[in-house]
Every structure is written in structure tokens, then in C-alpha cells.
Structure 1
Amino acid sequence: MASITDSLTRLGDLSVPFAPVSVGGLADAELLVSQRWIAEVRRRLDAVAATVAGEIAHRSRRELGHAGLAQSEGVRTAEELIAKVSGTSARDARTLVKAAELLSVERPTMPEAPPVPRWQSLIGDAVAAASISVEAAELIRARLTAAAEGTTDDVLEEAVGQLLREAPGLTIEQLAIRAGRVRDELDLAGVAAREHELRAKRFLRVTPQLDGMTRVTGLLDPESAAIVVPILDAATSPRRGGPRFVDPHAIERAEDIVRDERTTEQLALDTLVDLVRAGAQVDPSKLLGDRKPAVRILVTKTDLDTRVGAAFFEGQTEAVSIDTAERFICASGAVPILFDGDGKALNLGRELRLFTEKQRIAMAARDGGCLMCGRPPSWCEAHHIDHWDEHGGRTDVDDGVLLCRFCHLTVHNNRWRIRRDGGDYLLEKPDRDGTLRHTPLPSRSPALERLLAG
């Protein structure tokens, strides 16, 4: 049986017919190592592909007209040609061309080409070294470009270095969130403009179909999503891996949702239709009666007092302006979560096993979601990091963390522990050779991150 290493070595030899390797006999550790190797090879291929795409773009530049490579092949742009030749999407082709712009390629025929800024060349160097993918490179470049004006080169280079160090341990979705946070810290003044830009993109379109159905498409800006998404999550989360360690009175409802014959998507739609129906039946001057959606907005007390900085809707990753935070706090029934100088939101001692609603709200503000995987607070349960017999009946916020159902079960079933070291939390678990390791579990809360960074 050919090994993964042998298969990867032969990939570049196009004279050898390709055949996927059998991996059923690999041990768990070998399987994970193989996946890492494959990712490394993909990044190397991406770096080569970006270099080739850059040369195709250079030979297809606009001033060459019909003599350019792309137009001579019957297409308008280099991106169209790359997509046609490689069988990929136009989006993938654009990503390769954008990555190529970051690479250090000398072209004597174009001495007038402007130099690539140092912070962008650092991203290009990471692509060339196969330490990040071209998709990650474009993501970092795009996020920081929004903050480049008015930011010194030294600061941008430091920010890029920070993101490049973190990128290997993040998924592309997590990197997008992290790069967005870095961008906002570099350009707090631009938060309001970016919020306005996202809000301008919101829409809802209802299109009748020929078969009698009606298609609904749309985009929610962060403020709208902060209202709508938690309601749909609450209606469907038990089906999708949401909380099961719930209050005894809610167990029956959660089990009913799991047993419901409707699909998860049908449950979400029916929930939305029920809300619209209920809203249509109340006093025309009110929406859903006097009860406002329980939208929570996270903001540091310093930012709110000085009216300079950023706020965040719970469960949303994009920053909003302090003006938006004040408006919600004042008029929309929002619950502001104010962090003090030590990063604490609430600390209550009690003699009951369960955390109070206020304590859960405080943990959601502090943790920002599941500390292990990052699922939103609406999917999480409060986990006592100390066993009942170890904390004398007290149920304090400092001794509880938010975990989604899957991570909560994982911690209990594997008998792992979460320890607190001051204001930090660590996952304590043995590795494969039995050595006890402590892995940091940083907060996912953007407001708390901003407080500690300041």
C-alpha cells in the first residue's frame, strides 16, 4: 500500500496515472499528520499558481490590447483566462492574481511599477514560504487595506506580523474575525463608516416561483442579525447541537424539537412566519407588544463614557459605533454589558447549583461564546469548572465558563478540567503519552479583548 508521503511525492509527475491512496489503515495520529502534510502541499501549489497567475496577468495587462495573452485567447481579462484554463471560479482566479501582486517578482520591462508596501510584501513572503494560503493572504490584505490610510508602516507591519503568527492555528473564518478586530483597532474612526456600509447592503427579496412556491433571499446587517438570529437559534439549536443541559422545565421542549418531523430549515421558517403573524395581530402602534427583543450589546465602560471606540452585538463579530450602542441602550431595550478595569462584568455568590440568568449574561459577555470552539452564546451552556463538592455550594461567575453542548460533553466524557489562573482559563487534558497539558482558552468577546488590549 502506497503511503501518503509516496503519493504526495508523485503528485507532480503527470506521466503517472493518479490514484487516491487508501487511508483506512492509518492510525489517528498518522491521519492527522497526513492532513497537515496535504495542507502544506496545497499551500506550496497555491504559491506556484499565484506566481503563474501573476505572469498571465502581466502578459494580459490592459495597455497590450488585443496583443495581450488573455484577449489573444478570446477572453477579456486574465482572471477569465485563468478560470477557463484551470477549471476554477472567477473568484478563485482573482484571489490568485491578488496574491501575485504581493509577491516579489522583478520585471525589467516595467520599471515604473510602484513598489509593494512593506506590510503587503510580508504577506507575499508568507505565501511564497507556504505558511499561509492565498485565500488567507487576500483576507489579511483586504482587511488591513481598510485601515492603511492614516496608519504608519511600522504599525501595519506589526499588525501583519501578529496575524501571520496566529494564522496557522486558525480556520479561515476565525482568521477573518481576527483580522477584522485588528483592522478596527487600527482604525477606530472608521468603525461607523464600515457599519454604515454593511447596513447599506441589507435587503430582503420575495420572488414568486412558477411552481407556486415563493423564494425569500436577503442579507442581514449585524444589527438586524443580532435580533433575528438568536430567535431562530433558540428555536432550532437543540436540533443542531445546541444546549441540552437546560433548566428542567425546558427539557421537554428541547426533546420535542429534536423529535419534530420538520427539517431544521422548516423549523426556522415556521418560527419566522409565526413571529410575523403575531406581529400583525398586535396594536398597530407596537411591534410584538411591549416586549422588545433581548438584544445585548457589549461595550467597555471607558468607550461608552468617552464615546470613542467600538461596541459589539452579542453573537456578531463586526464592530458597531458607540452611537449605535447608545441608541440601542436608550431606545431598543438592549442590555448593555459594561466591563470594569479588571475585565469583570458580574460576580455573584449563591447556594444553588444553577447559574442565574444574570450570571449567564455576564459569562456570555466575558467569554463571547464557547471558549473551546467559538459557537455563539445562544448555543452554550454554563459549565462549572469546579465540581460541586469543591466550591462549597457557591456558583460564581468566575468559576463558570460557556461551552456549547458538544464541547461540554467532551469535557465531561473525557474527564478533562478547565482551570482558572487569575482572569484566564486553561483546558487541562493529557496528551497521547499521558503528559498533562494546559491549553489557553482565550475569550471570544471582542469588547473584553478591546478592554484588555487598552
Structure 2
Amino acid sequence: MNLPIDGSLADKGFLARKLSVGVSRVLGMAILDERPVWSMSSSEKLSALDATHAEIARLQIRCLHLTASLDTDGYAQELGARDTVQLLSIRYRLDPDDVRRDLRLARALHKYPAVTAALGTGHPANPADAAQLNVGQAGAIVSALEKVPSSAGASVEDLRVAEESMVQAAHLLPPADLRKLGKEMRERLDTDGPEPRNEDDTSSREALWIKPADRGITFGGYLADENAELFQTLIFAGAKPHKTPDGERDPRPRSKRQADALTAILTTAAGTGSAVPGHGEIKPHITVTIDLQDLKTATNTHDGGLGRGDLVHGDTLSAAAVRRLACDAGIIPLVLGSHSEPLDVGAEHRFVTRAIRQALNTRDKGCIACGAPPAMSEAHHITHWADGGPTSLDNLALLCKRDHINVHQGRLTITLTNGHPTVTRPTWSDPDPPPLRQTA
């Protein structure tokens, strides 16, 4: 390459960047021995593996920094994704829990200078700046320190010493051992420890708390003895992983499987009509009061439209959410006219019947978007019944709850082709093709 002797600073800066990229590529190919494996000796294979692991660590760190900055920009929402986790998990076909874990680490790094320095920039200018920690080790350290309770009263200096000690220990310890060390660190920092348990009359300490949260609730509590055993038996039985129709592993993490199990238990109890004392044989169902015009004009947008439906317990749902829920059984919409007079109270038999559901299960074999089994899927009206869409097999498709939400929010589109539903993904769901490698 011939470089001009004279030129503007911008030209020189551009050429310097081009040179830097070219040199980095050449060095990268030299470091990562890309000869055929069969032609290498055992010592050469191990050396090449050393260099490959170092390069993987560098790229993982680079991904952390890019992910944190992208999340700060809020670019996922600009593209139409719910958040950065959804954008990256769909775009790169990753488990959302893995993306969420890495994003949690990326967001917290600024509080831990020793960990950040040991991780490096992910784009070192020379070997001396290479990472001393891998992402797994950094995650174990940060997670351990994040769990130190504020009630411990640990000083900034104590936390700094704990962080530096764990970074030093990471020269020898893998992530699992660092997590054990982190637990010991927390016990030292929180000298009082948890409050002692009172073993007397455990049943009297049973409690359940429910708090409103954004678009839902948070809850927790304590069950004793046989009640605890009953709860665990039902949850564990319902949370068993199910293979997809293609024989692949259940895509749900354990926490999601357990949440689905609890939802299934509640749905079954509500359907019996006798699970709740005082209801007689009336089955308790969700009732939503909504204006007919809001229901008809609910948009498939990120915000779910302007209309709202009122729930019995004081919360609200967007009109788009009501449209999604009304696709299948389990919700009774109380539709109001222009003068707030009740026009119609939907009964469950107006929706998907048992025969139609069995036909759906046979045809779609589960969620048509991700392959989740029928037990995890809901019936979706391709043309909503509020817009005149019939409850018939040629206007229905099976979707898991996550993809059902994505369809109603416009992130996925369903069309019928020769009587079979097909899914179209959003433009941001596929990564840009890699640039062609330049040859000399």
C-alpha cells in the first residue's frame, strides 16, 4: 500500500485506522493457527487451542462492552424489540436467560474497577493488555458481591478488598470455586448473618404475600411440612421438561417451567368450579371490561394501543392484551357500547372448542414459531374474532405464550399458506451478513 506523504489529518487518521484493522487481521490469523488439524502435532494443537481460548475470551469481553452500550442507547426499542434481551436472544438464537445474565454483568461492571481492569477492553492494543479474567469468572465475582446485603453495613474499603482478593484468587480458581469463595466473603462481610429460625409451631408461620408489579404481581411466602411437600410435588411434576415435536430439548429454563406449572395448577383449579370456597359451582374466571371500539381498533404495536380493559382487582390490560387473551378460553370479556351499556358477555364456548383444539394440536404439533409442545401453546385467531374472524381451524394457529404476545405486538406475522400457518420474523431478527474477507 502506497501512503501519501502529505494530506489532511482526516486522511491520515483514516489510513491509520485501515492499517490498524489490516494488521489486527494479519496478527489474528497468525495467532490462531488455522492449519488443518490433521497436519499438527499434539503440542501444536494445544498451543493453537491456547490461542483460540484467549481469542474467545477477548471476543466475549468485547461483546459485554458492546451489549452494555447498546442497552444504554435503547436501540432495541427503536428497532421494535421489547428490550435488549429480546433483540439479542432472537437475533442470535440465544437463550434469554443467558443474555439476561451477561447483560446484568455488563451493567454492573462499572461498580467493580478491579474486575473491569482484569477483564480488559476486549480489544487490546498489545498482549500486555490481554484479559486476566474470563467472563465466567467475572460473572461469579460480581454476582457474589452484588448479593452482599445493605444491612451488612460493609464499608467501601471492605468491599474493595473483597473484590481484589477474589480477582487475585481467579488466577487459580474456576467460576464454581469462585462462587463458593464469594459465599465465604459474604459471610465475613455480614457478620450478623440471617436471623435465627424459630422452630416452634411452624404452621403458624405460614404466609403468602402478594404485591402489585409492572404488568403483573410479585409474590412469595412460606409453607410448612405437608403443605410444603404438596406444593413441591405438584410444581415438580408440572415442571418436567417436554421435548419439542422435532425431539429437541425443552427451550424453557427451569424457572419458566415452574412458573408454567403453577399457572397450569391455577387454571385447573379454576376450571373445577369447586376449588374456591364460596363460589359454589361457578367457575372463577378472569373478567375484563372493555369498550367495543377499543377492542376493535387495538393495534399490533409495541405499546398495545391506547385502549384499556379494566380488571376486577383494579389493574388494567391494554386492548391488545385483551385481544390476545380472548383468543382462547379462560377470560370473559364484558364488552361495552358507546354509552357504556353491556353489549355482550362472552362465554367460553364461543371460543376454541375441545374438538377444534385437538385438530389444532394434530395439525400444528405445538407452537408454530418455536416448536414448543401443544401443552405449552395457546390458540391464536389469525383474524381476530372482534374483527369478524371465525373460530375455525383455517383461522387458528398454536403459539406459546411468549410468541403469542410477540404476534399481538407485531413482532411476528402469521399467514396461511395452503391451509398451514407460517411465521414471518421481523427484519431485526437476523444479523447482518459478515463482511467478505479481503484477499491480498
Return the TM-score normalized by structure 2.
0.35
Q: TM-score, normalised by structure 1?
A: 0.34
